[in-house]
Amino acid sequence: MTPTPNVYDAEPIPEAARAEIDCMLQSGDLFRYTAPENAPVTLLEREFAEALGSRYALAVSSCSAALFLSLKALGLPRDARVLIPGFTFAAVPSSVVHADCVPVLCEVGDNYRIDLADFEARLDDGIHAVIISHMRGHTSDMDAIMGLCDQRGIPVIEDAAHSLGTRWHGRNIGTIGRVGCFSFQSYKLVNAGEGGIMITDDAELVARAVIMSGAYEHNWRKHFTGDDAALDAAFGRWQNRLPLYNLRMNNLSAAIIRPQLAEIPRRVRDGRANHDYVADRLNASPWLHVPAKLGPEERAPDSIQFNLVGLSEDETRAFAAAAAERGTKVQVFGLSADNARAFWNWKFIPGGTPELPRTRAMLMKACDARLPARLTRPELDTIADALIMAAEDVMGQPRAYGT
């Protein structure tokens, strides 16, 4: 039998990063603004914007920083209400609080996607901006969401931290809303340990974000090349008028990220094939259900989420224990203590967390297992077997039909 695979290690950083890093260790040139032009961070921004099909990119210290700067760059008033999904990572409500805004949560359905009826109802409750978190890469119905938000003139920020490479109607996730934010933290598709980037076509928004990211004096001139009158005018308007939060990326991170950009298509292709293979196997069990993707969505998963069907809370705990016994770690979002993806643990939200019964019910049965793109077919079978047999350990053999 194939031994239980290690699902935690990231892939090795491409060899090409080494020469660039060696150069930097020699020159000491680690700060993005030391060189007059073409610093690795600037080159990363150019390459990333081009790869995604967006006009501007700004690399920063994390996706959380990108979300925070996006809210600040929108110029929202203090205490502005920002609608976010009730199923996301704690970084999202945290960025809203950090930007002096108030998170308002909406329900998320059994398929991990935003409940549109609840979303629409809450949108008319004084909402100034929306953050759509494509949690674990699951894309909510962006046609419906953009329709509702555009009608009302409400800006949409896409939290695409975990969605790099995902497409919606063939378009890259992160380019649909006013701004898209990505993460380079080690558990994401591209790994720099830490890091983030935001993309937008909006000159005013990016100029404000660049200055606030820490482009003091005239360092914003090192961000973009070419003639762009709208951008120059925006920098002129905002010079010396915005606080500098210093959330810059350093050149070492950019040198680690840049050679990984070419790897994205392969990681997406393999991650999707792995996910779909394991999903088909799990869906053959009566106790496990992997919700279908939405029609326009092409996913880029590096983990799998599935719901337990007909298991009580005790049986759910027993399932997680049985899977661990069989060598595959599963987290049930709503059951592990202090889980950062369970909304009731976001006790820092001003006024307390609301109750979201549908989202809570989903979190109590939704399981999460890592499934990195580098796994082989036998390794995938080891994981699928462990999950299917763990359900049978708890619920017994499924009843055979027919004879």
> Considering only CA atoms, which of 335, 339, 330, 320 is closest in space to residue 390?
320
How many residues in the shown chain lie near ligand PLP by CB under 6 A? 15
Residue 207 makes contact with ligand PLP by CB under 6 A = no
Q: Where are the beta strands (DSSP E) in 290-387?
A: 297-298, 303-308, 331-332, 366-370
CA distance 20 to 370: 31
Report the nearest approach of ligand PLP to the CB of residue 135 (Å): 5
For ligand PLP, the closer CB: 109 or 386: 109
Binding to ligand PLP (CB under 6 A): which residues in 296-355?
A: none
For ligand PLP, the closer CB: 113 or 162: 162
Report the b/e string of 353-384 with b at 16+ CB within 10 A: beebebbbebbbbbbbbbbbbbbeeebbbbbb
- Considering only residues 58, 92, 308, 380, which one is a binding residue for ligand PLP as defined by CB under 6 A? 92
| Cα first-last separation, the chain | 32
The residue length of the chain stands at 403
Report the nearest approach of ligand PLP to the CB of residue 284 (Å): 29
Report the nearest approach of ligand PLP to the CB of residue 333 (Å): 13
CA distance 90 to 64: 10
With contact defined as beta carbons under 8 Å apart, do 53 and 104 qualify? no
Report the nearest approach of ligand PLP to the CB of residue 368 (Å): 11
Residue 135 makes contact with ligand PLP by CB under 6 A = yes
What is the crossing angle of helices 116-123 and 142-152, to 10°? 10
With contact defined as beta carbons under 8 Å apart, do 304 and 7 qualify? no
For ligand PLP, the closer CB: 174 or 288: 174
What is the crossing angle of helices 313-325 and 377-395, to 10°? 140
Binding to ligand PLP (CB under 6 A): which residues in 145-204?
A: 159, 161-162, 183, 185, 196
User: Which part of the chain contacts ligand PLP (CB under 6 A), choosing from 88-96, 100-108, 258-266, 314-322?
Assistant: 88-96
Q: Where are the beta strands (DSSP E) in 255-403?
A: 288-289, 297-298, 303-308, 331-332, 366-370
CA distance 159 to 386: 32
Residue 248 makes contact with ligand PLP by CB under 6 A = no
> Considering only CA atoms, which of 191, 194, 205 is closest in space to residue 64?
194
For ligand PLP, the closer CB: 92 or 330: 92
Report the nearest approach of ligand PLP to the CB of residue 202 (Å): 21
Joined together, the tokens standing for residue 51 give 């790869």
Report the nearest approach of ligand PLP to the CB of residue 133 (Å): 5
φ, ψ for residue 64, nearest 5 deg: -60, -45
User: Which part of the chain contacts ligand PLP (CB under 6 A), choosing from 20-28, 35-43, 83-91, 243-251?
Assistant: 83-91
For ligand PLP, the closer CB: 133 or 166: 133
For ligand PLP, the closer CB: 42 or 185: 185
For ligand PLP, the closer CB: 184 or 235: 184
For ligand PLP, the closer CB: 118 or 159: 159
Binding to ligand PLP (CB under 6 A): which residues in 11-70?
A: 62-64
Report the nearest approach of ligand PLP to the CB of residue 349 (Å): 16
Report the nearest approach of ligand PLP to the CB of residue 164 (Å): 11
> Considering only CA atoms, which of 330, 339, 321, 332 is closest in space to residue 394?
321
The two beta strands, 81-85 and 127-133, are: parallel
- Residues near ligand PLP (CB under 6 A): 62-64, 88-89, 91-92, 133, 135, 159, 161-162, 183, 185, 196
